[in-house]
Amino acid sequence: MSILAALKALRTTAKTGAIGKMKTSAKGVELIHSFEGLRLDAYPDPGTGGKPWTIGWGSTTDEQGKPINPGDKWTRERADARFLQHLTSFEAEVNKLLDGKPATQGQFDALVSFAYNLGPGNLAKSTLLKRHKSGEYAAAAVEFAKWNRAAGRVMAGLSRRRAAEAALYRGQ
Protein backbone atom coordinates (compact mmCIF):
# COMPACT_ATOMS: atom_id res chain seq x y z
CA MET A 1 0.00 0.00 0.00
CA SER A 2 1.39 3.44 -0.89
CA ILE A 3 1.94 6.03 1.81
CA LEU A 4 -0.92 8.15 0.43
CA ALA A 5 -3.27 5.16 0.45
CA ALA A 6 -2.23 4.32 4.00
CA LEU A 7 -2.74 7.93 5.01
CA LYS A 8 -6.24 7.96 3.51
CA ALA A 9 -7.13 4.67 5.22
CA LEU A 10 -5.79 5.92 8.54
CA ARG A 11 -7.74 9.15 8.28
CA THR A 12 -11.02 7.47 7.41
CA THR A 13 -10.84 4.96 10.24
CA ALA A 14 -9.20 6.96 13.03
CA LYS A 15 -11.05 9.17 15.44
CA THR A 16 -10.34 12.72 14.38
CA GLY A 17 -10.73 14.38 17.76
CA ALA A 18 -11.98 17.94 17.97
CA ILE A 19 -14.14 19.29 15.19
CA GLY A 20 -12.39 21.75 12.92
CA LYS A 21 -8.90 20.31 13.27
CA MET A 22 -7.16 20.33 9.94
CA LYS A 23 -5.21 17.48 8.36
CA THR A 24 -2.50 17.64 5.73
CA SER A 25 -3.70 17.12 2.18
CA ALA A 26 -2.08 14.82 -0.39
CA LYS A 27 -0.42 17.91 -1.88
CA GLY A 28 1.14 18.71 1.50
CA VAL A 29 2.36 15.14 1.95
CA GLU A 30 3.87 15.20 -1.53
CA LEU A 31 5.69 18.45 -0.70
CA ILE A 32 7.17 17.00 2.48
CA HIS A 33 8.14 13.78 0.71
CA SER A 34 9.73 15.64 -2.20
CA PHE A 35 12.10 17.51 0.11
CA GLU A 36 12.73 14.87 2.76
CA GLY A 37 13.22 12.01 0.32
CA LEU A 38 13.16 8.39 1.42
CA ARG A 39 16.44 7.03 2.76
CA LEU A 40 16.50 3.62 4.42
CA ASP A 41 20.06 3.98 5.73
CA ALA A 42 20.89 6.62 8.34
CA TYR A 43 22.68 9.69 7.01
CA PRO A 44 24.20 12.77 8.66
CA ASP A 45 22.51 16.16 8.73
CA PRO A 46 23.57 18.09 5.61
CA GLY A 47 24.10 21.27 7.63
CA THR A 48 26.33 19.81 10.33
CA GLY A 49 27.77 16.74 8.63
CA GLY A 50 26.78 14.81 11.78
CA LYS A 51 24.01 15.05 14.35
CA PRO A 52 21.13 14.82 14.09
CA TRP A 53 21.33 11.64 12.02
CA THR A 54 18.29 11.08 9.85
CA ILE A 55 16.48 8.13 8.26
CA GLY A 56 13.22 7.32 6.47
CA TRP A 57 11.19 10.39 5.51
CA GLY A 58 13.35 12.77 7.54
CA SER A 59 13.07 11.08 10.94
CA THR A 60 15.68 12.03 13.52
CA THR A 61 14.16 9.77 16.19
CA ASP A 62 12.74 6.27 16.23
CA GLU A 63 9.32 5.18 17.49
CA GLN A 64 10.49 5.35 21.12
CA GLY A 65 11.95 8.84 20.67
CA LYS A 66 15.56 7.64 20.64
CA PRO A 67 17.96 9.42 18.27
CA ILE A 68 18.88 7.85 14.95
CA ASN A 69 22.48 6.61 14.90
CA PRO A 70 25.03 5.93 12.16
CA GLY A 71 24.48 2.46 10.74
CA ASP A 72 20.73 2.34 11.47
CA LYS A 73 18.65 0.73 8.72
CA TRP A 74 14.87 0.75 8.23
CA THR A 75 12.40 -0.90 5.91
CA ARG A 76 10.05 1.09 3.70
CA GLU A 77 7.16 -0.03 5.89
CA ARG A 78 8.83 1.26 9.04
CA ALA A 79 9.69 4.57 7.37
CA ASP A 80 6.09 5.01 6.17
CA ALA A 81 4.67 4.16 9.61
CA ARG A 82 7.03 6.58 11.34
CA PHE A 83 6.15 9.29 8.80
CA LEU A 84 2.47 8.90 9.66
CA GLN A 85 3.27 9.17 13.38
CA HIS A 86 5.33 12.30 12.80
CA LEU A 87 2.78 13.85 10.47
CA THR A 88 -0.08 13.34 12.93
CA SER A 89 2.01 14.88 15.71
CA PHE A 90 2.99 17.92 13.63
CA GLU A 91 -0.61 18.43 12.48
CA ALA A 92 -1.73 18.50 16.11
CA GLU A 93 1.02 20.99 16.98
CA VAL A 94 0.16 23.31 14.08
CA ASN A 95 -3.56 23.16 14.92
CA LYS A 96 -2.70 24.06 18.51
CA LEU A 97 -0.41 26.91 17.45
CA LEU A 98 -3.08 28.33 15.12
CA ASP A 99 -5.29 28.66 18.19
CA GLY A 100 -8.52 28.72 16.19
CA LYS A 101 -7.26 31.23 13.62
CA PRO A 102 -8.35 30.39 10.06
CA ALA A 103 -6.06 28.80 7.50
CA THR A 104 -6.63 27.62 3.96
CA GLN A 105 -5.61 24.06 3.15
CA GLY A 106 -2.50 25.33 1.38
CA GLN A 107 -1.54 27.52 4.33
CA PHE A 108 -1.99 24.64 6.75
CA ASP A 109 0.01 22.25 4.54
CA ALA A 110 2.86 24.78 4.25
CA LEU A 111 2.93 25.35 8.02
CA VAL A 112 3.00 21.59 8.68
CA SER A 113 5.88 21.16 6.21
CA PHE A 114 7.75 23.99 7.95
CA ALA A 115 7.15 22.42 11.38
CA TYR A 116 8.10 18.95 10.09
CA ASN A 117 11.44 20.31 8.91
CA LEU A 118 12.27 22.84 11.65
CA GLY A 119 10.16 21.72 14.59
CA PRO A 120 7.04 23.24 16.11
CA GLY A 121 9.13 25.28 18.56
CA ASN A 122 10.64 27.28 15.72
CA LEU A 123 7.21 27.80 14.18
CA ALA A 124 5.82 28.90 17.57
CA LYS A 125 8.40 31.67 18.00
CA SER A 126 8.40 32.77 14.35
CA THR A 127 7.22 36.03 12.87
CA LEU A 128 5.70 33.79 10.18
CA LEU A 129 3.15 32.44 12.66
CA LYS A 130 2.55 35.86 14.23
CA ARG A 131 1.82 37.37 10.81
CA HIS A 132 -0.47 34.48 9.88
CA LYS A 133 -2.45 34.72 13.10
CA SER A 134 -2.90 38.47 12.64
CA GLY A 135 -4.25 37.93 9.11
CA GLU A 136 -1.20 39.40 7.37
CA TYR A 137 -1.00 36.53 4.89
CA ALA A 138 1.18 38.20 2.24
CA ALA A 139 3.69 39.24 4.92
CA ALA A 140 3.58 35.74 6.42
CA ALA A 141 4.43 34.18 3.05
CA VAL A 142 7.54 36.37 2.81
CA GLU A 143 8.75 35.07 6.19
CA PHE A 144 9.33 31.52 4.87
CA ALA A 145 12.45 32.66 2.99
CA LYS A 146 14.15 33.74 6.22
CA TRP A 147 14.39 30.13 7.41
CA ASN A 148 16.97 28.81 4.93
CA ARG A 149 20.02 28.28 7.13
CA ALA A 150 21.55 25.30 8.88
CA ALA A 151 24.60 25.63 11.13
CA GLY A 152 24.69 29.32 10.15
CA ARG A 153 25.00 28.65 6.42
CA VAL A 154 22.43 29.29 3.68
CA MET A 155 21.45 25.89 2.29
CA ALA A 156 20.22 25.69 -1.29
CA GLY A 157 17.86 22.83 -0.43
CA LEU A 158 16.30 24.82 2.39
CA SER A 159 15.93 27.85 0.12
CA ARG A 160 14.08 25.68 -2.43
CA ARG A 161 11.89 24.15 0.28
CA ARG A 162 10.96 27.51 1.77
CA ALA A 163 10.09 28.83 -1.71
CA ALA A 164 7.86 25.81 -2.34
CA GLU A 165 6.20 26.22 1.07
CA ALA A 166 5.60 29.92 0.42
CA ALA A 167 4.05 29.12 -2.97
CA LEU A 168 1.76 26.51 -1.40
CA TYR A 169 0.89 28.95 1.39
CA ARG A 170 -0.09 31.52 -1.25
CA GLY A 171 -2.27 28.95 -3.03
CA GLN A 172 -0.03 28.63 -6.06
Judge whether 63 counts as a catalytic residue: no
User: Which residue in the list 30, 36, 93, 143 is annotated as catalytic?
Assistant: 36
Task: Render 39-88 in DSSP notation, one character per residue.
Answer: EEEEE--TTTSSSSBEEETTBSB-TTSPBB-TT-B--HHHHHHHHHHHHH
How many Cβ atoms are within 10 Å of 4's Cβ, its own excluded?
A: 13
Q: Residue 73 in contact with residue 93, Cβ under 8 Å?
A: no
Residues annotated catalytic, as ranges: 36
